[in-house]
């Protein structure tokens, strides 16, 4: 008697099921402590001395290719739990709104426009970093 374990109609369907099962097994193994050690980062974020109400702040490490993404709310940000920075040189980008908005909402009123074009260096340890963005810092 020739019985199939999976009810498939062709070898291509069987190959698809095998591939899907392998992907599930591989995905279950992801998410472990892979990659470089990460450190907490927190601080205040102001624009011309005033707290930034709502923003997305990104530190991009050019050496490790790991980014640290944080929300700024009422002039404060923080990132802990192994998702912080890796230490080293970072380019900084920030996008801020005067009201709560989503990054894809093009009509949300921006607090400032342009590209922030600065680099920072963070030590390989938990770090407090207070940022004061100035109008002239943006292109």
Whichever domain contains 113, its CATH number is: 2.60.40
Does 11 reside within a domain? no
Containing structural domain, residue 85: 41-137
The predicted model scores a pTM of 0.68
- Asked if 47 contacts 57 with a C-beta cutoff of 8 angstroms, the reply is no
Give domain status of residue 63, yes or no.
yes
- Structural domain count of the chain: 1
Is 87 domain-assigned? yes
Whether residue 50 is contained in a domain is answered as yes
Report the chain's mean pLDDT, rounded to a whole number. 76
Find the angle CA(42)-CA(86)-CA(47) to the nearest 5 degrees: 35
Predicted local distance difference test score (pLDDT) of residue 106: 64
How do residues 30-85 score in pLDDT, each as one tens digit?
A: 444 577 889 999 999 999 999 999 888 999 988 888 888 999 999 999 997 778 88
114-125, pLDDT tens digit by residue? 678 788 999 999
């Amino acid at each position: 008697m020739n019985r199939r374990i999976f009810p498939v109609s062709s070898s291509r369907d069987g190959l698809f099921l095998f591939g899907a099962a392998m992907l599930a097994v591989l995905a279950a193994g992801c998410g472990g402590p892979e990659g470089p050690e990460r450190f907490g980062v927190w601080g205040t974020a102001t624009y011309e001395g005033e707290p930034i109400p709502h923003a997305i702040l990104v530190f991009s490490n050019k050496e490790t290719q790991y980014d640290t993404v944080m929300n700024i709310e009422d002039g404060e940000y923080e990132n802990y739990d192994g998702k912080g920075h890796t230490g080293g040189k970072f380019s900084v980008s920030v996008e801020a709104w005067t009201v709560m908005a989503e990054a894809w909402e093009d009509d949300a009123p921006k607090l400032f426009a342009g590209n922030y074009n600065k680099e920072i260096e963070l030590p390989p340890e938990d770090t407090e970093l207070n940022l004061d963005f100035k109008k002239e810092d943006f292109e």
